[in-house]
Amino acid sequence: MVGDSMHPSTRKIIVLKPALLSPFWRFFGYFWQFHCWPDHLLSCITAILRASSPPFAAMLSQLDSLKTEALTALDTLSDEAALEAFRVDYLGKKGKLTALSGGMREVPADLKKEVGAKLNEVRDAITSGLTVRLEALQAAKDASAVAGIDITLPGRPGAGVGSLHPLTQIRDLAVRTLRRMGFTLADGPEIETEWHCFDALNTPTDHPARNESDTFYMPDGKLLRTHTSSVQVRTMESAKTLPVRIIAPGAAYRRDEIDATHLSVFNQIEALYVDTDVSLADLKGTLEYFFREVFGPTTVVRFRPHFFPFTEPSFEIDVKLEAKGKEARWIEIAGCGMVDPAVFAEISKKRGDNLFDPEKVTGFAFGMGLDRLAMIMHGISDIRHLIENDVRFLQQF
């Protein structure tokens, strides 16, 4: 034989699986298994054998047939329900293509790459055809929806021009007023740590605000902030230099029973001013100016001594206002005070420096509910009106 006369370095021995071949190729395989052939003959014969392997040839043929069948069927579908049924029939877990792909187990290992590529080609073709058909049906549906409508007709006047929500109005007014006084906007997360919300603000562990009956706690120990004072803490924690002069409007959360004056989610604005020589006179002057800008130049403001764990001394602020048809009366509207040195000490401990050394710096802080301001300004009797999105109510503003 030719192979017998070849040098050993140019010969190869191939072991076949005769059971997978037709009788002719089975005989040929036995012959080939025990004889040696030149490289160029081996490559030709291998290609012939690969193409005639029953699992390989049959599966390729089935894939081509399935592709033709699916694309032809797509052209006959006329609604989205039919397209979904088609998708399930061909691409679903029990679909035709999925079932056919199970035949990959019978394909010889050296042919799996080719068969797999063909499988992906058919899947992509069916998926692409399905998408194109769906878009065509949607376009036809859209066209029929506007059929008979003259799109050149002028528009009809609607309900009129809208306006800002009363909460947005009072927030914008408060921010504009305080920014004119040199304050800058600051923001922080609404899901907070106990340290930022309570510990850093000198709030004792037995304070009622830390109870689960008053505060929304998360499974991991974090909580929904009960005030925007946590933004003041984060600002001091990251500050590079003095002074710090910020305002923090935003949402706060408490476990309050919802009624005419309470919501479990409400809006606040708080302010912080820290420097080396901030006084109570600065606090008083800032707030008097602010409330006269909001409620009018003749507004009378009163400071009453109070207690907050994070300020010392602390005050509650009353504004004397006159509702329509009623006698003027004092209305509690905000809380304020000089920042407690214990807060500066905790911040310094956290920072590891002395930028907020309680022996060198002073500051004031104040906060108020924007919902309450809006209710007072517009004479709203029930805070729930602010969240109900009733157009009849909102059109008044």
Which pLDDT belongs to residue 158? 63
> What whole-number distance in Å separates Cα of residue 209 and Cα of residue 232?
18
Closest CA to 217 of 188, 250, 251, 194: 194
Query: Which tens digits make up the pLDDT trace of 365-385?
Result: 999 999 999 988 888 889 999
Query: Which tens digits make up the pLDDT trace of 261-306?
Result: 889 999 999 999 999 999 999 999 999 999 999 988 999 999 999 9
**Could you say which of 3.40.50.720, 3.30.930.10, 3.40.50.300, 1.10.10.10 is the CATH number of the domain covering 166-394?**
3.30.930.10
- ∠ CA 337-340-341, rounded to 5°: 145
Query: What residue ranges do the domains of the chain occupy?
Result: 3-145, 166-394
β-bridge partners, 265: 253
- This prediction has a pTM of 0.59
- ∠ CA 21-22-24, rounded to 5°: 115
At 334, the pLDDT band (50, 70, 90 cuts) reads very high
At 18, the pLDDT band (50, 70, 90 cuts) reads very low
